[in-house]
Amino acid sequence: MKLRRFATIVALASAVALAGCNSSDLLDVARKANQPLPRDVVLTMKANGMTKYSPIMMRIFKEEAVLEVWKRKDTGRYALVKSYEICNFSGEKGPKFKEGDRQAPEGFYLVNRHLMNPNSSYYLSFNLGFPNKYDRSHGRTGSNLMVHGDCTSAGCYAMTDENVAEIYAFARDALSGGQKDFQVQAFPFRMTTENMAMHRNDEHFAYWEMLKEGYDHFELTKLPPKIDVCDRQYVFNRNALEGEFEPSASCPKSEMPYSLAVAYTSHKNKYALEFEGIVAQLEGREPNDIQLLPIPAPPPPELEVESETKSELEVDNAQVAPPVQNSSSILNLPPAPARIIATSSGTGSAIIKMSSETDTAQ
């Protein structure tokens, strides 16, 4: 309780410093910055095992023009609380490269209390923290990339004043409750198999495939992924066994918690089959053979180390990707009968042969 009171005092002191000496300005800043969450949102949180101070995470999808607020439940997993329409953002799908390109960023960002601005010229705002370690390793430049109100944008994600007040309140309460920073994941679109297939020829596709790994980890675990940068690439939920993750240096030897590695490998194999099936239908051809990744072998018992990180990332069996189904239903395309033949390769991988021939007993 003392921590929360102190955080409130610090926030108000910051507002005073930003607003100057005009008492009416001070009252206006305090009124905007301290609006409570609506009663219906509070009731939804309570019904889902959340408090107003529970940690949060946000996801942004450009193509769908949606900002999602997720909150941690009493189970430790995160659940979606509310989605907000993005009123406006500038630029196109794709990452931000340089100052002045008027492009809204894509990637993984951390927002702390110092990036919150109750005295924003755009009603209320918080800075995304662009450029992050990944952006800086690529020499990308830009500043003041925010989520804010006023429904106008020059490289930011703009909301209506009413919606940004709620979003700001979620962030304010979580930070006041002790959360050091919250993760904002910004994507070009929902990274489903069909969306990836539809954008396969885009110049940014390789970058989006990298972002998709973080997207998939969250979908599997319902936990914000641990994010590092090495070799100028994002890496997710990996623990360095030797050395440290350095943005511009080669990646150190690392490992992923075993249950997550199994779930993610299964998910990647399912995705590879679905992706090839959809692309083949879009291009009017037969699916190509697909080589699947081997499922990781369990670690020797003597090497198993119980840790907080490992237990947090355990994945329920129900979250492991189910067997592959015919992908034609995803885009409502005519079914293309196929048989899937798995054979072993010299590396222990499986080679999947897809054929339109009808299966016959051998």
Q: Which residues are the active-site residues?
A: 148, 156
- The total number of residues written for the chain in this structure: 362
Nearest residue to 167 via CA among 189, 182, 155: 182
Please report, for residues 129, 184, 197, 266, the alpha-carbon distance to residue 248 in angstroms, rounded to integers and kept in the order given: 19, 23, 30, 30
Q: What angle do CA 152, 168, 44 make, to 5 degrees?
A: 120
For the record, the structure tokens of 40 come out as 């219906």
For the record, the structure tokens of 351 come out as 């080679």
Helices (H), the chain: 2-19, 23-33, 39-47, 133-137, 161-176, 193-198, 205-221, 258-282, 308-312
Q: Which residue has the tokens 């800086």?
A: 136
What is residue 243's three-state secondary structure?
A: coil
For the record, the structure tokens of 341 come out as 């033949």
Q: How many CB atoms lie within 10 A of CB 200?
A: 15
The strand pairing partners of 85, in sequence order, are 66
CB 58 within 8 A of CB 182: yes
